[in-house]
Amino acid sequence: MLTLWDLLPKKRRKAPRKRVAQAAAAPRRTKRVTAMQQKYDRVVRESLTTYEVRVRKWRSSMSGCAWEVHGSDGSVGRLIEAPRPKGPMSAAIFLHEIGHHAIGFNRYRPRCLEEYHAWRWALEEMERQGLNVTDRVRARMRESLVYAVDKARRRGLKRLPIELLEFAPDLTERAPGTVPRN
């Protein structure tokens, strides 16, 4: 008995290519691990172990995310997504996400203040571990905090914490700790 599948044309497979003997002639080059990369790898291992964090995904972009998962049995899973540290910027972003777990979620209100403390923790940790804190890393921190403060203000933040005044340039002339209503 024929089925509809029998009526469909059969796909032809291409014959596999024969490998050229060139691969045997040229030895494979392995990446040499630099001393700095070893330092980054050590920081990753220590941070993940110390704060009991699991990397859900190594991101290829310079962005990250940190969160907790609470089980019905009371267990807490600490997770991050971040770029694998290979230079100062990726290390700063990785440590910023670890910083959220280090300082604790919902410890600081508003959320932009938590972002400030996570960034501060990350830069202090980089300095403590002997990693380079470049001007570009500091600029990234500033851009991130300006964005976080602006987002909080758009969402109706009434009082801006004093630590964040420098990240809201239009408020520097006003009384500390206040945000004008729009």
pLDDT digits 0-9 by tens, 17-62: 766 655 555 666 777 889 999 999 999 999 999 999 999 999 999 9
Considering only CA atoms, give the Rg of the chain: 25
- Which contacts (CB < 8 Å, 24+ apart) does range 112-121 have? 112/145, 112/148, 112/149, 112/151, 112/152, 112/157, 112/164, 113/161, 113/163, 113/164, 115/144, 115/145, 115/148, 116/145, 116/148, 116/161, 116/163, 116/164, 116/167, 119/144, 119/145, 121/95, 121/96
Q: What is the mean pLDDT of residues 64-74?
A: 97
CA 151 vs CA 106, 168, 173: distances in Å: 17, 11, 20
Task: For the full predicted model, state whether its pTM sits above 0.75.
Answer: yes
Q: What is the mean pLDDT of residues 58-74?
A: 97
| Cβ-based neighbours of 174, under 8 Å, separated by 6 or more | 180
Give CA angle at 137 (37, 129), nearest 5°. Answer: 45
Residue 182 — pLDDT band, cuts 50, 70, 90? very low
- Identify the helix (H) or strand (E) that includes residue 5: helix 4-7
Decide if pLDDT at 171 tops 60.
yes
Please state, for a pLDDT cut of 90, what percent of the chain lies above it. Answer: 74
Give CA angle at 100 (128, 180), nearest 5°. Answer: 110
End-to-end CA distance of the chain: give it in Å, rounded: 76
Task: State the pairing for strand pair 65-70/53-59.
Answer: unpaired
Closest CA to 99 of 77, 123, 83: 123
Domain boundaries, the chain: 35-171
Six-digit token string for 173:
């002339």
Contact at 8 Å (CB) between 91 and 79?
no
Six-digit token string for 37:
């990369």
Separation of alpha carbons 117 and 163, rounded Å: 10
